Amino acid sequence: MEKRLRLVAPALAIVLAAIASLAFAEIPLSQRRSGYEQMSREVKAMQDDDTSNPASLSVLDGEALWTRREGSAQKSCADCHHDAETSMRGVSARYPAFDAAKRRPLDIEQRINLCRTEKQQATPLPFESRDLLALTAYLGKQSRGMPIAVISDDDTKPFIEAGRQIYARRQGQLNLSCQNCHDDNAGQKLAGVELPQGHPTGYPLYRLEWQSLGSLQRRLRNCLFGMRAEPYAYGADEYVDLELFLMWRARGMTVETPAVRP
């Protein structure tokens, strides 16, 4: 009996894995929901009112940084890009975007740092630093209310596909993929919390758990940690590919930056 079980168990695991992979289907475009819709009345109110949204403080920081001269070039963002409210409108909604020189997509954080190193002759800002979060929040705010519009073309398609592969790949000690939670079981409860579909509509966002603003990469790191998988280093290509895939998956959805989430 015991011997038979031992034989059956792996076979069963294979069958289950096959079922799980068959069950995977992308969420139809019309059925996609922002995590906002799953939030309580109180948290929605926090996001909706600028004075009550703690991320507004970072937007103000970002606005101040926009005009601050930096690096040995002593140039500010505004010196080249002028008024962010016009020049940066819709920009964050298109990121990650392909960079011809780097021959790969860059996320908005990397794009800002490229400006810093190449145009301002300044040191790049560390991921999750107060200043980088502030600048991305300020830029993101300029796309608030606009549809997510990352570009899918010959340049970016291979990277969207790479992101999709990471999204679908089982990893970590729990042997979970992103899609196990966010496609197959979105809307189901996990330890009392309703699983969101995982659309990055509001980054950088203020998480009540973090009690601070954080980037999409921090959230992805958080997920990998939850899956007992090894997180990538901040700025890794894998993260950017995932970000690009997730933004493509959320194409057309409305930018909420800076959002609030539990």
Partner 1 sequence: MTARALINVPRKAKRGDVIEIKTLISHVMESGFRTGTNGKTIPRDIITSFACTYNGEEIFATQFYPAVAANPFVTFYTIATDNGTLAFTWIGDNGFEVTQEAKIVVE
Partner 2 sequence: MDAMARLLITRREAVLAGAAALSASALPAPAAALGQMDTAIRNVFGEATIRAGKVTLDLPPLVENGNTVPMTVSVESPMTKDNYVKAIHVFNDKNPQPNVISLKLSPRAGKAVIATRIRLAGTQKLTAIAEMSDGTLWSGTEEVVVTLAACLEDLP
Active site residues: 223
> Rounded to the nearest whole angstrom, what is the least distance from the CB of residue 104 to partner 2 in the complex?
28
Give backbone dihedrals phi and psi of 147, rounded to 5 degrees, phi first. Answer: -75, 145
> Residue 206 Cβ, how far from partner 2 at the closest point, in Å?
9
Instruction: Confirm or reject binding of residue 211 to partner 2 (CB under 8 A).
Output: yes
- Nearest approach, Cβ of 202 to partner 1 (angstroms)? 17
- Is residue 171 a contact residue for partner 2 (CB under 8 A)? no
With helix as H, strand as E and coil as C, how does 125-171 read? CCCCCHHHHHHHHHHHHCCCCCECCCCCCCCCHHHHHHHHHHHHCCE
> Per DSSP, what are the bridge partners of residue 171?
176
Q: Is 155 in the site for partner 1 (CB under 8 A)?
A: no
**Interface with partner 2, residue 37, by CB under 8 A:** no
Give the shortest CB-262-to-partner 2 separation in angstroms: 4
Which residues are CB-neighbours of 15 under 8 A, at least 6 positions away? none
Examine residue 56 and tell whether it contacts partner 2 (CB under 8 A).
Answer: no
DSSP string across 66-114: HTS-BTTTTB-HHHHH--HHHHTTTTGGG-SEEETTTTEEE-HHHHHHH
Q: Compute the C-alpha angle 49/51/52, nearest 5°.
A: 65
- Any contact of residue 165 with partner 1 (CB under 8 A)? no
CA atoms of 186 and 104, how far apart (whole Å): 31
- Does 20 sit near partner 2 (CB under 8 A)? no
Question: Cβ closer to partner 2: 111 or 182?
Answer: 182
Interaction between residue 173 and partner 2 (CB under 8 A): no
- State yes or no: residue 230 binds partner 2 (CB under 8 A): no
**Residue among 27, 144, 138 at smallest CA distance from 77:** 138
**262 is a site residue for partner 1 (CB under 8 A):** no
Question: Residue written as tokens 């700025």?
Answer: 235
Q: Does 223 bind partner 2 (CB under 8 A)?
A: yes
User: Whole-angstrom Cα distance, residue 125 to residue 62?
Assistant: 13
Bond prior to 96 in cis (omega within 30° of 0): yes
Lookup result for tokens 């790479």: 162
Which span (53-61, 83-91, 164-172, 230-238) binds partner 1, by CB under 8 A? 53-61
Using CB under 8 A as the binding rule, whether residue 173 contacts partner 1 is answered as no
Q: Select from 5-13, 58-66, 185-193, 248-256 the region that touches partner 2 (CB under 8 A).
A: 185-193
Binding characters for partner 1, 55-84, by CB under 8 A (x = yes):
-xx--xx--x--------------------
| Binding-site member from 64, 190, 233, 236 for partner 2 (CB under 8 A) | 190
Nearer to partner 1, 119 or 130 (CB): 130
Tokens of 199: 């659309």
Interacting residues with partner 1 (CB under 8 A): 49-52, 54, 56-57, 60-61, 64, 130-131, 211-212
